[in-house]
Amino acid sequence: MAEFDYDLFTIGAGSGGVRASRMSASFGAKVAVAEERYLGGTCVNVGCIPKKLLVYASHYGEDFEDMGGYGWDVGQKSFDWSKLIANKNKEISRLNGIYKKLLTDSGVEILESHAEIVDQHTVSVDGRKVTAKYILIAVGGWPVLPKIPGIEYAISSNEAFYLKELPKRVVIVGGGYTGVEFAGIFHGLGVQTTQLYRGDLFLRGFDDDIRKTLAEEMRKRGIDLRFNMDIAKMEKSDDALKATLTDGSSIAADQIMYATGRRALTRNLGAEKAGVALKANGAIVVDEYSRSNVENIYAIGDCTDRLMLTPVAIAEGMALANTLFNNKPTKPNYINVATAIFSAPNCGTVGLTEKQARARDCVVDIYRTNFRPLRHTLTGRDERTMMKLVVDRVSDRVLGCHMVGPDAGEIIQGLAIALNCGATKAHFDCTVGIHPTAAEEFVTMRSKVAE
């Protein structure tokens, strides 16, 4: 008789939990996964995928404006928010089914219920106790809203995906990925959009040239960006919301959306009962192999407060499966992880920012270009693309690549491979570009930025 009911019991069927579970099963482990909300987690349901679909929708407004320069005229145009949301929901439902099939085809047992840790090897699922050699926590995070007067009138990005009507005026609070992306989405769909951020400049942690360039481009589009600003309180009247700001002024809106961060979804999980150490923000403390301070309990993804990106959670899940069940101890790689912001325009980045490189006492050379995309030579649109390289002067290695402009994410992905291979500026210089593309600018920058 087996000592435990399962080799691995995973709590949370998001991207990381699903990858860890099905790969562990493929290595011969007996695996169960519990999920109380929706298969696929944040990314599939209220994150990356539906947000990118809304981003696509928001681009058509500008495309219709631009097409005249290319001789096109399709007549009267209209937009149906309810149709977009219905189609989005249909696609998400399809993806939920794919995740279910991935798990069941791998032999993973799915328990669509709340799971709570009882002790080091025991989990309670709807009152039924099961045991596992290893427990994996992959519960993700949840939006955090501040405790201010009237906060009950605000929504988070979770609710924004299911609004019954498109608001005419929206205020977005927050300056991370979600805030800038939704600002572009709403504005692109014709909504009067204001974005507030309590700091001097949004996208903290990104290269300053990305931050400054994106702010300029968003303002050109007509998005009302207000930095060093926050909401002090909210009130509701018959037909509107009123936000009183920290400078005493006020804004009227139909919706106020907070995108001010997420917190690990570890409440009511029972991790403390097993002695699992948590950070002050509720995130689970783990080592390089995603193991908590309790020997057989692991955690991956957003609930660990490391790099909160879907591909990173997937990589952590794969590393965990290899470590526990494939006799191949593996640490997740956090070096040169590329990321994109699907703002208007897009941003892409990989490697060190200029500030980070200088903080490491690197002597760096900076290469930067700013140009009007070829497409807009006929549209007349005043949009600029910015590209930047951070190069170690001593070794000639490219330490960071940064971009603001169309398809930034698609372009930066290839550069991430180059950086992980140790590419130098000389390698970039001897690479023949594809003409005419924006991407070729990364291999044709020759002039250093004057210090």
Describe the chain by its helix, strand, coil percentages, rounded to 5: 35, 25, 40
pLDDT at 110 over 80: yes
Q: Verify whether residue 402 is a known catalytic residue.
A: no
pLDDT of residue 2: 75
Instruction: Give mean pLDDT, residues 211-220.
Output: 98
Average pLDDT value over all residues in the chain: 97
Joined tokens for residue 350: 């990989």
Closest to 373 measured CA to CA, from 287, 415, 436, 423? 436
pLDDT range class, residue 31, cuts 50, 70, 90: very high
pLDDT of residue 224: 98
The residue with tokens 């929901």 is: 89
pLDDT at 5 over 80: yes
| Residue 429: count of CB within 10 angstroms of its CB | 12
* Per-residue pLDDT reduced to its tens digit, 220-234: 999 999 999 999 999
Instruction: Give mean pLDDT, residues 386-391.
Output: 98
95 CB-near residues (< 8 Å, 6+ apart): 40, 44, 49
CA 79/CA 131 separation, integer angstroms:
52
CA 196/CA 187 separation, integer angstroms:
14
Joined tokens for residue 163: 């609004």
Which amino acid is located at 383 in the chain?
E
Instruction: Please provide the size of the chain in residues.
Output: 451
Instruction: Give mean pLDDT, residues 250-272.
Output: 96
Fold match between domain 6-142+263-325 and domain 151-260: yes
pLDDT of residue 450: 80
CA 357/CA 143 separation, integer angstroms:
31
**3-class SS of residue 289:** coil
CA 349/CA 400 separation, integer angstroms:
7
pLDDT range class, residue 269, cuts 50, 70, 90: very high
pLDDT of residue 404: 98
Instruction: Give mean pLDDT, residues 314-328.
Output: 98
Topology classification of domain 151-260: FAD/NAD(P)-binding domain (3.50.50)
CATH number attached to the domain at 6-142+263-325: 3.50.50.60
Residue 20, H or E segment: helix 15-26
pLDDT at 1 over 70: no
CA 332/CA 309 separation, integer angstroms:
13
Instruction: Tell me if the domain spanning 339-443 has CATH number 3.30.230.10.
Output: no
pLDDT range class, residue 345, cuts 50, 70, 90: very high
pTM of the model as a whole: 0.96
Instruction: Give mean pLDDT, residues 254-283.
Output: 95
Q: With contact defined as beta carbons under 8 Å apart, do 19 and 108 qualify? A: no
* Per-residue pLDDT reduced to its tens digit, 285-304: 999 999 999 999 999 999 99
**153 phi and psi, to 5 degrees?**
-90, -10
Task: List, in sequence order, every residue forming a beta bridge with 369; answer none if it has no partner.
Answer: 387
* Per-residue pLDDT reduced to its tens digit, 39-80: 999 999 999 999 999 999 999 999 999 999 999 998 899 999
pLDDT at 311 over 90: yes
Which amino acid is located at 69 in the chain?
G
* Per-residue pLDDT reduced to its tens digit, 129-165: 999 999 999 999 999 999 999 999 999 999 999 999 9
246 CB-near residues (< 8 Å, 6+ apart): 229, 230, 231, 232
Of the chain, the end-to-end C-alpha distance in Å amounts to 71
User: Where exactly are the structural domains of the chain?
Assistant: 6-142+263-325, 151-260, 339-443
Q: With contact defined as beta carbons under 8 Å apart, do 12 and 88 qualify? A: no
Joined tokens for residue 405: 């402009």
**3-class SS of residue 360:** coil
Instruction: State what percent of residues in the chain have pLDDT above 90.
Output: 97
Give the pairing of strands 297-299 and 128-137: parallel
- Beta strand extents in 224-338 (DSSP E only): 224-227, 231-236, 241-245, 250-253, 255-258, 262-264, 297-299
List the catalytic residue out of 114, 187, 376, 435: 435
